[in-house]
Structure 1
Amino acid sequence: MEAQTQKGYILLADISGYTAFMANSELAHAPLVLGHIIQFLTKELTPALQLAEVEGDALFLYATEDVISRGELLLELVESAYINFRINKRTMTHNITCPCRACQEVSNLDLKFVVHYGEFVLQKIAGKIKPIGSSVNLAHRLLKNTVSEATGWNGYVLFSNICIDKMGISPENIYHGSESYKHFGGINITAINFDKKYREYTANSKDYVTEAEADVSVEYDFTAPPPIIWDWLCDPNKRNKWYAGNKANWVVKDRPAGRTGPESQNHCTNSNFIEHILDWRPFHYYTVCNKRGWINAKITGELDEMNGGTHFKWRLRLLGILPRQVLRLISKFIAHKVLEMNSSLGNLESLSRENFMKYKEQGQDAIDAHPNLAEVQQNHY
């Protein structure tokens, strides 16, 4: 039977500076450093993406387009992975006591990502399920690019313009360029400086409703890990599916930075609420203000990984001049009677769990093919 051609995303995560790191390091500890980073990246990028192969100091992952319905999730995945890598690297560097060159030069390592969209065929080769095809070949060619020479960036993500158009985003502060390869010709690309994103993330003050400030809090444990739950919480189309009583009809209103983030707005056409995004930390927490007339509800949704799933905390504080006791009563009415948060989150669990089990089923062969990553994946799932 002829293999079915599919469309989807191909992602490569490459450890920058690893060749020089190996050349200048003792062999005893260098593989341990590599193994730690590979396991870390695998946990960060799956299960929203499927692991196809560990290629030395790089990861090769993919997702069919029916799995990634909100293209912006890809940018959030690689951005979050990079930020967490930098935080993890900073901790490693601080805690290292070994005097060997491998351990002392961890701080020189960085990450770059390449993401392409195209057609491929999934085939089982030597026990591993991998996408093959011209698009896969091009994604690997794009690892050899001129972004660092043109910009001076070491940590970045490179999207083919075919990919970024499919994702439906137009982020700010980017680099536009073109790469040329034999058999492919000129390929237009867009790159984002992740060092800048990391510095912004760590420098910006947090804006969220604390437990002490909340008028009402709702907590829920989900089967799926934070990236999956985040996507169901933040994708307007998916949000509309889990609100109890089909009360919500959220649509995108404004994306001034070309993507979801602070100053972005959504609109619920059923209730006429405008949602203003105040703080946006993918897979960790978001804070929004939902406004209509005199109602100004500040909401924080916080996600914590727990036993492979997600512990979710939803907190609401009503802003206004009325006495806090009155605002607290109104907040509880909104949470439990209007939004029916307990029932709504139960619906979210059913939908996200079904979605997550599909991810697991699709990726099981890939996990089995990488026994060195089995423990990481098992803990993640």
Structure 2
Amino acid sequence: MENTNIKNGIILIPDFNGFTQFVFNTKLFTGEYIVRQLLSILIDVNNRYFDISEIEGDAILFYKYDKKPCYKKISTLLVKMQNSFNAKIKELSKLMNTSIDLSLKFVVHYGQFSEYKIGNFQKLYGKTVIEAHQMLKNNWANQPSYIFYSRSFLTFLPYSDNTIDTAKHHICDFGMIEYFEG
């Protein structure tokens, strides 16, 4: 049996730091409203560049089939997501007169995966998807907001896209972590 649906692509997962504590310390209606607003802003800023596989709690599983990923395009999009997320937190904190102690981390991974349909749901399948989820659970970054680019993603960048400013980056065995200012 051969699956012709297997393709190379990017997995992107934006995930909230501090989510569990937030849920336990926030009233149900208030927390749900805030999380819905924050997830919505990430989806809006994405502007359909990535497809959405699923939304689970405080994370979105984005994907894009792409044989030649572009660091500059993706990093620009993620900075826009980060800035919009921070602005929305500031807006909601002021509107609701409360402190919202959430930050954002991103995992960007590249490899082969497939998708299949169950009812109305499109599901992703493959080692690449599992690896991206595993990368969320790491001890490599000290900052609350960052982007973690896997070595697999960095390896597939075209040579012309390898102009990465390493000043605010940390290279580790598994890839590169880009820290956000402030």
> TM-score normalized by structure 1?
0.44
1:153 is aligned to 2:143: yes
Query: Relative contact order: is structure 1 or structure 2 higher (C-alpha 8 Å, sep ≥ 6)?
Result: 2
**Contact in 2 for aligned 1:115/1:139 (Cα 8 Å):** yes
Q: Which runs of structure 2 are paired with 1:34-113 in the superposition (5 Å)?
A: 34-66=35-67, 70-97=70-97, 104-106=98-100, 108-113=101-106
The Cα of 1:43 is off from its aligned counterpart by 1.0
Cα pair distance change 1:17/1:43, threshold 3 Å:
same
| Partner SS, residue 112 of structure 2 | strand
Residue 171 of structure 1, aligned match among 142, 165, 182: 165
- 1: CA distance between counterparts of 2:27 and 2:85? 23
The Cα of 1:94 is off from its aligned counterpart by 2.5
Q: Which runs of structure 2 are paired with 1:342-353 in the superposition (5 Å)?
A: none
Letter of the 1:158 counterpart: F
**Contact in 2 for aligned 1:11/1:60 (Cα 8 Å):** yes
The Cα of 1:70 is off from its aligned counterpart by 3.3
The Cα of 1:176 is off from its aligned counterpart by 1.6
Consecutive unaligned residues of structure 2, counting only runs of 5 or more, are none
| Partner SS, residue 104 of structure 2 | strand
- 1: CA distance between counterparts of 2:147 and 2:63? 15
Partner of residue 123, structure 1: 116
| Partner SS, residue 26 of structure 2 | coil
Letter of the 2:113 counterpart: F
Residue 189 of structure 1, aligned match among 175, 178, 182: 175
RMSD: 1.8
The Cα of 1:69 is off from its aligned counterpart by 5.4
Indicate the structure (1 or 2) with the bigger Cα radius of gyration: 1
**Contact in 2 for aligned 1:71/1:166 (Cα 8 Å):** no
- 2: CA distance between counterparts of 1:144 and 1:121? 23
1:114 is aligned to 2:107: yes
Cα pair distance change 1:17/1:9, threshold 3 Å:
same
Consecutive unaligned residues of structure 1, counting only runs of 5 or more, are 98-103, 179-187, 200-381
